[in-house]
Amino acid sequence: MSSLILGFESSCDETGVALVRVPDDGGVPALLSHALHSQIEMHRAYGGVVPELASRDHIRRALPLTQKVLTDAGVSLTDVDVVAFTRGPGLAGALLVGAGVACSLAASLDKPVLGVHHLEGHLLSPFLSADPPEFPFVALLVSGGHTQLMRVDGVGEYEILGETIDDAAGEAFDKSAKLMGLPYPGGPVLSKLAEGGDPKAFKLPRPLLHSGDLDFSFAGLKTAVLTQAKKLGDELEARKADLAASTQAAIVEVLVKKTLAALDQTGMKRVVVAGGVGANRLLREQLNEACALRKIRVHYPELHLCTDNGAMIAMAAAMRLQAGREQANVEYAFDVKPRWPLDTLV
């Protein structure tokens, strides 16, 4: 016997739907199928996510994507045992679409629902990889809206060790890219451009690198990039790859050094990187290198599951249910939480 979880992600600009099979014997849940629609093209014309457009597009995509994951997995809607959805944090209207679709489907099937924390989804997404971690570990959660170092002792056992006091790492990538005239979303575009640049070309600050704690700050870096871009003036176009490489080097150095400090502080020998910035190639290279020297294991989600997706939501629901942290319920409450600190989870 096993149970089948249908998961929805709609917190920002990606509609994700997935099916995860949870074995009753406590074994690792397996991803049966997942489907994703990215709204990047739609928002590009505006230079960033337009919340109202995001919500409307989630409405258009949710059911066709659901049909696709059911077909791909060869199961029918009535086989689904639990419907999971991202309850927060995220854009309120976008979250409400996922909650609405999930609750309506569940109600029509007479099945329970489970609201999932988006960041817990990211955090547990490496368990979907071919090389899943084991608890406990240090987690570096680096997304568009969050940058946190955490001590993770088990499902629902999250202690924040440090976090950003202003911009998130993804935001630092996105805002710096925008200042350089690069299209949205800046992170992957800037990092691609950086491949052809000199990371030492410009001296940019490494904020809070020696602060002695595990907090981050990226707002000053963005200002320094703006100042540098203005100074370059007409030369910016020719030096863009160098500025991109220097910016990326500054962000990555801070992320790597603070992660190593968190490992030292906790004495842990395992680290998990999750969230969109976890797709960054330089971050992976430098963290792998530093951790290999220290005999520390590093785990990442599969590259295509670093950014938002439904698989991580279905997986987080599966792991919470397995761990007995939560019961799915039939209160189809549609109560999303646009702001929801991860360390308030139990």
275 near ligand KG4, rule: CB under 6 A: yes
For residue 276, state whether it binds ligand KG4 (rule: CB under 6 A). Answer: yes
Extended strands (E) in 62-185: 82-88, 113-117, 137-142, 147-154, 157-163
Quote the least distance from Cβ 146 to Zn ion, whole Å: 8
Which has the closest alpha carbon to 198: 232, 248, 234?
Answer: 248
Interaction of residue 280 with ligand KG4, rule CB under 6 A: yes
Does residue 301 belong to the site contacting ligand KG4 (CB under 6 A)?
A: no
Q: Which is nearer to Zn ion, 3 or 143 (CB)?
A: 143
Q: Which residue shows structure tokens 């609405």?
A: 100
Q: Which is nearer to ligand KG4, 247 or 266 (CB)?
A: 247
Which one of 35, 65, 279, 291 is in contact with ligand KG4 (CB under 6 A)?
Answer: 279
CB of 12 to ligand KG4, least distance (A): 6
Instruction: Indicate which of ligand KG4, Zn ion, none lies near residue 186 (CB less than 5 to 8 Å, by partner kind).
Output: ligand KG4
Name the segment binding ligand KG4 (CB under 6 A); options: 199-207, 260-268, 271-279, 330-338: 271-279
Q: How many residues bind ligand KG4 (CB under 6 A)?
A: 20
b/e burial code for range 39-58 (CB count within 10 A of at least 16 → b): beebbeeeeebbbebbbbbb
* Interaction pattern, residues 107-136, with ligand KG4; x per rule: CB under 6 A: ---------------x--------------
The one-letter amino acid code at 109 reads: L
CB atoms within 10 A of CB 240: 20
Which of these, 91, 105, 102, lies nearest to 14 by C-alpha position? Answer: 91
Q: Which does 187 bind (CB under 5 to 8 A by kind): Zn ion, ligand KG4, none?
A: ligand KG4
CB 251 within 8 Å of CB 172:
yes
Query: Strands 82-88 and 2-9, how do they pair?
Result: parallel
Among 173, 202, 300, 340, binds ligand KG4 (CB under 6 A): 173
- The rounded distance, in Å, linking the Cα atoms of 280 and 274 is 11
- To the nearest whole angstrom, how small is the minimum distance from the Cβ of residue 122 to Zn ion? 5
Whole-number minimum distance, CB 65 to ligand KG4, in Å?
Answer: 17
Give the C-alpha distances (Å, rounded to integers) separating 143 from 30, 64, 85.
24, 27, 19
- With respect to Zn ion, which residue has the nearer C-beta, 246 or 309? 309
User: From Zn ion, ligand KG4, none, which one binds at residue 145 (CB under 5 to 8 Å depending on kind)?
Assistant: ligand KG4
DSSP conformational letter for 113 = E
Cβ count within 10 A of residue 78: 8
Give the CA-trace dihedral at 79, 82, 83, 86, to 10 degrees.
Answer: -150
Q: With contacts defined by CB under 6 A, name the span among 35-43, 50-58, 199-207, 273-281 that binds ligand KG4.
A: 273-281
The site for ligand KG4 (CB under 6 A) is made up of 12, 122, 143-145, 170, 173-174, 185-188, 191, 275-277, 279-280, 307-308
